[in-house]
């Protein structure tokens, strides 16, 4: 479907549902790749229109607002022409039921960990007010802020090596007025300030170098630092595993996303008892590991044995 055909279909449509169908058909006809907040053309089309409605529910059942035709087509055409993720075109992403400001300085939030956070990390942890949480590689701040919002009273530290990413995270912290509970640190993995956390969460970069170049064009708009791991993709995760116990309370736990690296990690660390989280809304490759198991490994006990 070309642009004039899209325009024609939108002009002939008499409902917002029909607009979404037309947009979805346009997206599908151009072979877009989804996965930056949606996983299909219809959801992406719905998101685009709802954004232009400023998420006002009452506008859904009214006839389509013709004044939105130009911005709608403009955004749809740019999505197809530039293969830029819709989140960047709109400057917003939704994560754990919350809206975040995003731009090309940060990964588009999409971790399946949203589901865990929305249920306050149950059954893996019971976060209480006053508990401290560390988010390593915070990007937009989505995990850190979602924890602070969904687990009231928790104190969250969030780190990133990218000062650019932290500038976006700071905007999101301000948006949710969380200055008193979410602190941002520009550092490599762990903050220098001595602290012990109940939970460490992280979605580190984990795409192996060999796969990075062949990612769909949408990913080229995201920061390389957010996606590209080392040769195996597991480098940042291995560094986290090595040092996390220094920063965890004895009964704490670490939750890390490694995506397709799950199999390799299990193979190289056969005696570390990773628990792989099962998600109801899709996603995989997230493990939970207890601080006690990390500590046993250091002491050469039952958790050790991996290379």
Residues within the interface to ligand SAM (CB under 6 A): 107, 109, 111, 136-140, 142-143, 159-162, 165, 188-189, 203-205, 225-226, 236
Closer residue to ligand SAM, CB minimum distance, 16 or 111? 111
In angstroms, the CA 204 to CA 257 distance is: 7
Closest CB 3 distance from ligand SAM, rounded Å: 32
Closest CB 201 distance from ligand SAM, rounded Å: 8
In angstroms, the CA 216 to CA 246 distance is: 38
In this structure, is the dihedral angle defined by the CA atoms of residues 179, 93, 127 and 113, taken in order, positive or negative? negative
Closer residue to ligand SAM, CB minimum distance, 64 or 137? 137
Sheet with 248-257, strands from edge to edge, namely 182-186, 155-160, 132-136, 197-202, 248-257, 286-290, 275-276
Say which residue the tokens 């956070």 belong to: 117
Closest CB 87 distance from ligand SAM, rounded Å: 11
In angstroms, the CA 267 to CA 279 distance is: 22
Closer residue to ligand SAM, CB minimum distance, 109 or 303? 109
DSSP-assigned states of every residue in 1-27: --HHHHHHHHHH--SHHHHHHHHHHHH
Identify the burial level of 165 via C-beta atoms within 10 angstroms of its C-beta, where 0-12 means exposed, 13-18 middle and 19 or more buried. Answer: buried
Closer residue to ligand SAM, CB minimum distance, 105 or 296? 105
Closest CB 53 distance from ligand SAM, rounded Å: 26
In angstroms, the CA 7 to CA 23 distance is: 10
Eight-class DSSP state of 155: E
Closer residue to ligand SAM, CB minimum distance, 189 or 277? 189
Partners of 100 in the β-ladder: 93
Asked whether the beta carbons of 108 and 222 are under 8 A apart, the reply is yes
Closest CB 301 distance from ligand SAM, rounded Å: 28
Closest CB 95 distance from ligand SAM, rounded Å: 7
Closer residue to ligand SAM, CB minimum distance, 54 or 193? 193
Closer residue to ligand SAM, CB minimum distance, 76 or 116? 116
Closest CB 15 distance from ligand SAM, rounded Å: 34
């Amino acid at each position: 479907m070309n642009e004039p055909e899209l325009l024609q279909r939108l002009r002939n449509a008499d409902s917002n549902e029909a607009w979404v169908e037309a947009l979805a058909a346009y997206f599908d006809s151009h072979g877009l790749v989804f996965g930056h907040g949606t996983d299909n053309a219809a959801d992406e089309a719905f998101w685009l229109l709802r954004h232009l409605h400023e998420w006002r529910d009452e506008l859904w059942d009214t006839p389509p607002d013709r004044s939105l035709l130009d911005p709608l087509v403009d955004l749809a055409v740019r999505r197809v022409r530039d293969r830029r993720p819709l989140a960047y075109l709109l400057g917003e992403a939704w994560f754990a039921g919350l809206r975040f400001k995003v731009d090309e300085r940060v990964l588009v939030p999409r971790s399946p960990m949203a589901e865990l956070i929305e249920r306050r990390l149950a059954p893996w942890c019971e976060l209480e007010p006053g508990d401290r949480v560390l988010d390593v590689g915070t990007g937009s701040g989505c995990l850190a802020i979602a924890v602070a919002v969904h687990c009231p009273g928790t104190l969250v530290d969030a780190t990133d090596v990218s000062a650019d990413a932290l500038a976006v995270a700071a905007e999101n912290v301000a948006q949710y007025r969380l200055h008193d509970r979410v602190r941002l640190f520009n550092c490599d993995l762990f903050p220098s300030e001595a602290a012990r956390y109940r939970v460490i969460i992280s979605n580190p970069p984990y795409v192996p170098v060999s796969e990075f170049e062949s990612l769909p064009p949408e990913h080229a708009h995201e920061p390389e630092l957010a996606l590209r791991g080392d040769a195996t993709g597991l480098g940042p995760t291995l560094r986290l595993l090595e040092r996390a116990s220094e920063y965890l309370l004895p009964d704490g736990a670490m939750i890390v996303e490694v995506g397709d690296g799950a199999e390799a990690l299990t193979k190289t660390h056969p005696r570390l008892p990773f628990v792989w989280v099962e998600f109801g809304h899709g996603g995989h490759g997230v493990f939970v590991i207890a601080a006690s198991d990390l500590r046993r490994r250091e002491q050469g006990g039952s958790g050790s044995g991996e290379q």
